[in-house]
Amino acid sequence: MLTARLAVGDPNPAAAIAASKAAEQLAADSKYVEAAAKYREAFALDPRPEFLCNVGVAYQRAKQLPKAQVYLAECLRRGGHFEAAFVTAIRTGLEAVEAKLRDGDFTPLDVVVEPRGALVRVDDDPPAEAMVGSRLIYVPFGHHTLAVTADGFVEQRREVDVVSRSQRQVTIQLVARPRTITRTTRRSRAPAVVTLVTTLALGGGSAGAYLYARNVMRDAGSTTINRPTYDATVDRSRGWQHISWALAGGAGVSAIATVLLWRRGGTRIEVSTSSGGGAISWGGPW
């Protein structure tokens, strides 16, 4: 059935009346298809059932009987407040349209869709004429395409060939669109802080050892000592210099570790679901 989904935005009665008057002028000029479009525009601006009735009448006069049947039937469904004479006139028009459809080269299609609120379009119908949910529609003999859509589901198209007046059922069940839920957890910065402190400590130790080695070497050169003492002093200076190099190397490694630990991302967990099952994956930068 058609629903108020055709209405978009806030109601604008004044603009709807203007569109309705434009439709009346088009109908007076025998431009019934254009008039039907204008009446649909009026309904989109102000969802009053009488605009749907006028759409149906315009399609009836344009001899587009399948569309006339849809809109006239919806007009009756919504028009419980109409005057009895008007309801009788619409019902008479609908019965005449359905009689011509049954006797003509048309096939009644019982279209059953799941989910129940899915939108159904026939061939090149504009989105504004999409039907909501399961219903009986008439299509002329030949090849047709039914396009069924719904939020959160994968669109499905069904090709249908009809060549008889016998009613035919078409069942279309949409498949839920796969969904991915992503959750990211940030890793602790504590390891990076520890390596940073270690880097500073090793760097300070390296600088201290180097300065001490230089001081020992300077003392060896400025003091009158015997050869064995001099050699021992030089060896001690070189030892502290080697310690300085080792500490500097350790500080460099620690600095690299600090950068990597500080820049590393969190853990990403993705949960993908679909009608056929699901999958879980996790990962993230080191």
Q: Is the pLDDT of residue 254 over 70?
A: yes
What are the C-alpha distances in Å from 198 to residues 141, 210, 248, 252? 83, 18, 11, 10
- pLDDT, tens digit, 9 for 90 and up, residues 63-93: 999 999 999 998 888 877 888 888 899 999 9
What are the C-alpha distances in Å from 120 to residues 52, 140, 170, 234? 18, 17, 12, 94
- pTM for the model stands at 0.59
Closest CA to 120 of 33, 1, 40, 275: 1
Q: Is the pLDDT of residue 196 over 80?
A: yes
Domains in the chain: boundaries: 1-103, 105-176, 182-283
CATH code of the domain occupying 1-103: 1.25.40.10
The SS3 assignment for 19 reads helix
Of the two residues 44 and 282, the one the predictor is more confident about is: 44
Q: Is the pLDDT of residue 274 over 80?
A: no
Q: How confident is the model at residue 4 (pLDDT cuts 50, 70, 90)?
A: very low
Q: Tell me whether domains 1-103 and 105-176 share a fold.
A: no
- pLDDT, tens digit, 9 for 90 and up, residues 150-188: 999 999 999 999 999 999 999 999 999 887 666 666 667
The pLDDT, as a whole number, for residue 223 is 57
**Whole-angstrom Cα distance, residue 219 to residue 230?**
10
Cα–chain center distance at 284: 24
The DSSP code sequence of 146-212 is EEEE-TTEE-EEEEEEE-SSS-EEEEEEPEEPPEEEEEEEPPPSHHHHHHHHHHHHHHHHHHHHHHH
Dihedral angle of Cα 214, 216, 218, 220, to the nearest 10 degrees: -150
Which fold, 105-176?
A: Immunoglobulin-like (2.60.40)
Q: Is the pLDDT of residue 3 over 50?
A: no
The pLDDT, as a whole number, for residue 146 is 94
Burial class (CB in 10 A: 0-12, 13-18, 19+), 8: exposed
Q: Which residues pair with 135 in a beta bridge?
A: 111
**Whole-angstrom Cα distance, residue 58 to residue 129?**
14
The pLDDT, as a whole number, for residue 221 is 67
**Whole-angstrom Cα distance, residue 198 to residue 204?**
10
Instruction: Using the CB atoms, write b or e for 170-209: b if 16+ within 10 Å.
Output: bebebeeeeeeeeeeeeeeeeebeebbebbeebbebbeeb
Q: What angle do CA 19, 47, 3 make, to 5 degrees?
A: 125
The pLDDT, as a whole number, for residue 82 is 84
Average pLDDT, the chain: 83
